[in-house]
Amino acid sequence: MSDALHDLERPAPVEIGWRNRFAALGEAFATELPAEPLPQPHWVARSDACARLLGLPDDWWRRDDLRALDVFSGNALWQGMRPRASVYSGHQFGVWAGQLGDGRALWLGEIDAPGGPHELQLKGSGRTPYSRMGDGRAVLRSSIREFLCSEAMYALGIPTTRALCVVGSPLPVRREELESAAVVTRVAPSFIRFGHFEHFAAAGQHDALRRLADFVIDHHLPACRDAAEPYAALLEAATRSTAELMAQWQAVGFCHGVMNTDNMSILGLTIDYGPFGFLDAFDPAHVCNHSDDQGRYAWARQPSVAYWNLHALAQALLPLVGSSERALAALEPYKDDFARALTARLRTKLGLATEGEGDGALADDLLRAMAADRVDFTIAFRRLAGFVPGAANDAVRDLFIERAAFDDWAARYAARLQREASVDAERAARMNRVNPKYVLRNHLAEAAIRHARGGDFDETRRLLRVLERPYDEQPEHAAYADFPPDWASTIEVSCSS
């Protein structure tokens, strides 16, 4: 074979540009260090959608010139990567915890992707100066959960960090029991948290605090620079994006589980998937984190906890904002923004095309009836798309124990639909675009994990494909949308999950 023909068969070289703007902030913000080597790495799962976001070629994971398996296990670097662990502080379960930081995460760099710069981060890559006596590792169980939920939330349209891949290893890691190690590669426009600001404010390092705020404004929220008071505008932007995020979580029945200030994104992204869960039987007091003895992070409390966390952020930014009055004014939009956003989302979940004065009460009363009978959250809203005024509507009615209570609500709902001349087929189509059929229920993740522990990763990959299309019927995968099995109620997830 001639050299010319041989060259034609080689894959085109991949040119990956790196900006690494966060690294330019300096040593006060992060410690540069390599990942700890991961022995005998192997692929567990990859997200093609996330790879496309980053502009990687379709065969990125198997190309010899990219050595992706080595890179995303922490055993090698692409040219331009600058690994470092960042420092931050925060409140954990409402108590000031002092200095924290990337105890098992490592920032690789910022790729100049087609859709804009995105940071890459390894989670589970070994000890850092912020590991606080931990081993810096993640286990296969938690890595699969984070990988699947990151991509599932993106498919649901909820702001989130993304996940490119999971790499496994036979390396033993001790948690409640001995498990195998894994590394998940996370992707986001920025991993800056409320806790980053709290760290420099608590240390009295106001110059560093200003540099951090300027960095976020200049690179992520440039509209704040044009405001009369840019730092107050930064706080207000975080307030509004957080309010919108909380409305989206509540509307889809998502429980984060550990809403500490160090787990809150300054850009309003869902970040740090640990003991999360989607509601099965609807219980507003549901606590998905087995470590949360006081129920601080129950589903119904999430919006108020977010508001509390925003106050902690405001306190941290106070040296820049200048006065408590200005800071409080920047927080003021939260309650109205959240209420407005949640009401709007509940209205769309009910298929209402117009705004009505009693829409909030109509949605609230449905939720109360669902809570009273522990009705499955996702299934109820999905089945409601088939509601027809004047019909029996057994598919949704049979979910309720107290049929009379549902019948009373259904009569009000039917009257509301008739007032706007709702067309059943059109409404059903609208509702099925906002009420998912498929969410990452704990028992689905658990089944994938059990297969993976036995060396079978097909279930993780199959589940990813289902979750990437949460609003589609996918009749071949209908079992993934069924009621959870009895054993699902015994699953416990905690901060080690």
Q: Which of 217, 197, 215 is nearest to 206 (CA)?
A: 197
**Which candidate in 70, 102, 262, 272 is catalytic?**
262
**Furthest-apart CA pair in the chain: how many Å?**
81
Cβ-in-10-Å burial (0-12, 13-18, 19+) of 21 comes to: middle
Distance of CA 66 to the CA centre of its chain: 28
Secondary structure percentages of the chain, helix, strand, coil, to 5: 45, 15, 40
CB contact set of 389 (below 8 Å; sequence gap of 6+): 413, 414, 417, 418
The whole-angstrom separation of Cα 370 and Cα 367 is 5
Q: Enumerate long-range contacts of 329-333, CB under 8 Å, 24 or more apart.
A: 329/232, 330/232, 330/233, 330/235, 330/236, 330/239, 331/235, 331/236, 331/239, 331/307, 333/236, 333/239, 333/240, 333/243
Cβ-in-10-Å burial (0-12, 13-18, 19+) of 115 comes to: exposed
The whole-angstrom separation of Cα 86 and Cα 450 is 33
Place of tokens 């959250």: 377
Please provide the DSSP assignment of 199-249 as one string.
Answer: HHHHTT-HHHHHHHHHHHHHHT-GGGGGSSSHHHHHHHHHHHHHHHHHHHH
Q: Give residue 151's identity as a one-letter amino acid code.
A: E
Q: Does the annotation count 262 as an active-site position? A: yes
Beta bridge partners of 165: 46, 185
Active site residues: 262
